[in-house]
Amino acid sequence: MNHRRTLTGTLVAAALLASGCTGSGGSSKGADAKAPDDPAQVSGTIKVLTHRTDIVQDGTMKKYADTFNKTYPKVKVEFEALTDYEAEVKIRMNTENYGDVLMIPGVIKKNDYPKFFASLGTEEELGKKYRFTDFTTVDGKVYGQTTNGGTPGFVYNKKVWAEAGVTDWPTSPSEFLTALKAIKSKTDAVPYYTNFAAQWPLTSWTYVDGSVSCDNAATTRLAEGDPWAQGEDLRVGDTLLYDIVKQGLIEKDPTTTNWEGSKPRLAKGEIATAWLGSWAVLQFRQAAEKAGANPDDIGFMPFPAQVDGTFCAVLSPDYSQAVNINSDHKEAARAWIDWFSTESGYADDNLLPSIRKDAPLPEALKPYEDAGVKLIELDDAKGGLVKEIDSASEVGLYGPAYRQDLVDLARGAKDGSLDDFLADLSERWTEAQKSVGS
Amino acid sequence: MPHTRTTDPSHAVKKVARPSTAAPRPPAPRRAPRKVRLWRKLTPWLFLAAPLVLLITFTYAPVANMLAYSFTDWDGVSPELSYIGADNYIEIFTRPELFQVFFVSGYYLAASAIQIGVALYFATILSFNIRFRNLFKGILFFPYLINGVAIGFVFLYFFQDGGTLDSVLALFGHESDRAWLGTSTSANISLASVSVWRYTGLNFVLFLGAIQSIPGELYEAAELDGANRWHQFRYIIAPGIRPVLSLSVILSISGSLSVFEIPYIMTGGATGTETFVIQTVKLAFQFNKTGLASAAAVVLLLIILAVTWLQRRLVPDDRVDLV
């Protein structure tokens, strides 16, 4: 009996010890990663953590690094591509070993940025040249710089849409539904593909936010208001998704969808439409080439809603790169971040908007310019609060679960009505607002 | 498991082999010097050191850590965490919807009853002399050797509409073209049958091992007494493997309560296939409530311990004595 008591004692002691360890990690140092003055003098080996496993494997990243070395000959860049980026980096961030440059994972609270990353400078200064700086600003200092911008929209097959007799972009959700119905009756294509099983494509529907109201304070409205009140952006988006599924305009079995398989199928005209982001255009065009279809058939259109006769599209940042606060080569790391996001040509290569305010729009968004689509940038001052409310309420705006439930509800695999479903979300959201706000 | 000792044939052999009169006792050794005695005491611990270190580092320390986290509001990454007492546990027990997912375990519980039945049937048949006996043993055990992730992906294609299952059904003239994972009931039944497919092999091997440890003379004697195969099963095999049978039942109940990989890989918990563990993972990694998720994990552990304890009380583990 005595033995057992000592064992329990040891366990309790171990527990206290272990928890004490986690508590002491990562004291805030508030370091800076200054941009180097003379590129020839910067030296060191830096490790860059990235989620782009594809372009690390096919050597594209290596080519970028080689070009980088022409300007910064003494910096050696190594890449580490992580398949399940968010989950793996999150665990590594409990140690000091999370690369020299990394993409800021979504789980880090904005206010914690100064504890993990070195500052890149003041927002006042960087904000003049670059877009999206306020997404990573804490107390006037910027902690991350995104590699490129992007905008959500429908990737669609132009030929199929034309075959169905729809040549103009629909301007309202009901017109959009009519167009999908025309596609269903006049062509063999699946009007809309949910990518339900891949899960993450469904989260793109959250980025409807701002497109409907054309209001750059849409994020603040999420933090302070009810996102599923009548006429709010997310309600409009979710209702459209519900109606598309409810009216049978999707693939027959969403539970076994296949993301990689959907790319060539859309290119070949077996699928007409999918709500994704502008980053997807390049991937679908490449899939079209591989499948022997015409890459020019891949089109991109904004959310079917207009304010005063114009479409709105939200420009938002991709993953942001940051410098590890524990890095020994902060200057070299900073040099890589600046070079990669402004001079590498990464954004252009991927047909994505550059972060430089003076850069022209990429070719994939050319039709937007022609149609006079208004591009807006959301104010992200309340972005951190939105994430906290999201976690507290367990709604999961940035996770797939609630959209999967919505699709299940619409196709009758789950009981209930849309109104009740959205009302429940509203209730949980506003309830959490109270607890987080206090 | 002390109870297996009585059925161990090697034990019986030893008994017979022992000479009836014991050899004269060797003279009692003189008391060893202090140093030697110390080493003698230390030796078992030296042998145990490696496994003990491994056990503590990889089993008990993480569990202790998890227990500690369950009393905090940690989000899994932030350097700050504060102790909030039993708040996480209070939250878990005041949110009944967190326990609704246990209904899903019902499907797996029903499936494991079938699984044990099938495994028992094949183990009994294959313990007698049958042609291609070893081949069948291999075939039955094979699914258990496959990695769970691979199984998930294989069956995702299998259940696709117009996939393998539909094509096979079409061969038999049943022109079906349905989404097997489409509704909550059919999805859960499909997933549970995947788990039967996967784990039957394990149960089968356990049963087979137990059955083969029953001395062969018993069957001969029973046959002389006019017992048929069913009688042999009923009065020799079933009681003979009772401890293993009850172990399998415990394993399958705790397994049903903590199902994870198959539904997580195949559906991610969508369409009403979410289990308690998937829910816990979502709490920890989607909503960054590591503290709450740790508490949920502790609760699951306690539930499983309670169920096991209850079962041991209801079905006490008698010693087996066939002879």
Mean pLDDT of all residues belonging to chain B: 86
- Scanning B39-58 for CB atoms below 8 A from A yields 56
The C-alpha torsion from B4 through B112 and B257 to B317, rounded to 10°, is -20
> In this structure, what token pair is assigned to residue B238?
């079933």
Angstrom distance (rounded) from CA B247 to CA B258: 17
CB contact under 8 A, B156 and A401: no
Average pLDDT over residues B125-136: 89
Local structure of A12: helix, strand or coil: helix
* pTM of the complete model: 0.81
Question: Which candidate, B253, B288, B261, places its Cα nearest to that of B277?
Answer: B261
- List, for residues B241-257, the tens digit of each pLDDT value: 988 998 899 999 999 99
Smallest Cβ–Cβ distance between A108 and the set B77, B80, B182 belongs to B77
Ranges in chain A, pLDDT < 50: 1-28
Angstrom distance (rounded) from CA B247 to CA B233: 19
Q: Taking 60 as the threshold, does the pLDDT of residue B45 lie above it?
A: yes
Let me know: does B215 contact B12? Beta carbons within 8 Å.
Answer: yes
The 3-state secondary structure of B258-288, one letter per residue? CCCHHHHHHCCCCCCCCCHHHHHHHHHHCCC
Q: For residue A255, which residues of chain B lie inside 8 Å, CB to CB?
A: 179, 181-182, 187, 267, 270-271
User: Which of A23-27, A422-426, B94-98, B153-157 tops mean pLDDT?
Assistant: A422-426
Angstrom distance (rounded) from CA A176 to CA A85: 35
- Non-local (6+) Cβ contacts of A335 within 8 A are A35, A36, A39, A42, A72, A75
pLDDT of residue B317: 66
Angstrom distance (rounded) from CA A125 to CA A313: 27
Q: Regarding predicted confidence, which is higher, B30 or A52?
A: A52
pLDDT of residue A211: 93
Question: Which candidate, A402, A408, A421, places its Cα nearest to that of A205?
Answer: A402
Instruction: For chain A, count helices (H), then strands (E).
Output: 19, 17
ipTM of predicted assembly, 2 dp: 0.78
Smallest Cβ–Cβ distance between A253 and the set B72, B161, B289 belongs to B161
Pairing status of strand A190-192 against strand A271-277: parallel
Q: Does B80 touch chain A (CB under 8 A)?
A: yes
Distances (CA, A) of A226 to A209, A241, A394, A420, A424: 12, 19, 15, 15, 11
Beta strands in A170-328 (DSSP E): 190-192, 271-277, 298-301, 306-307, 310-317, 320-324
Mutate to test the interface with A, among B274, B279, B286, B292 (most CBs of A within 10 A): B286
pLDDT band at B92 (very low <50, low <70, confident <90, very high): very high
Q: Is A94 left (phi over 0), alpha (psi -120 to 50) or beta?
A: alpha
Beta strands in chain B (DSSP E): none
pLDDT band at B47 (very low <50, low <70, confident <90, very high): very high
Average pLDDT over residues B176-200: 88
Q: Regarding predicted confidence, which is higher, A66 or B176?
A: A66
pLDDT of residue A5: 42
pLDDT of residue A4: 42
Q: Does A399 touch chain B (CB under 8 A)?
A: yes
Q: For residue B80, which residues of chain A lie inside 8 Å, CB to CB?
A: 23
- List, for residues B195-244, the tens digit of each pLDDT value: 999 999 999 999 999 999 888 888 889 989 988 888 989 989 988 898 89
E strand or H helix that includes residue A141: strand A141-142
pLDDT of residue B275: 94
Angstrom distance (rounded) from CA A310 to CA A299: 19
Q: How far is CA B263 from the centre of its chain?
A: 17
CB contact under 8 A, A112 and B79: yes
pLDDT of residue B28: 64
Angstrom distance (rounded) from CA B274 to CA B265: 11
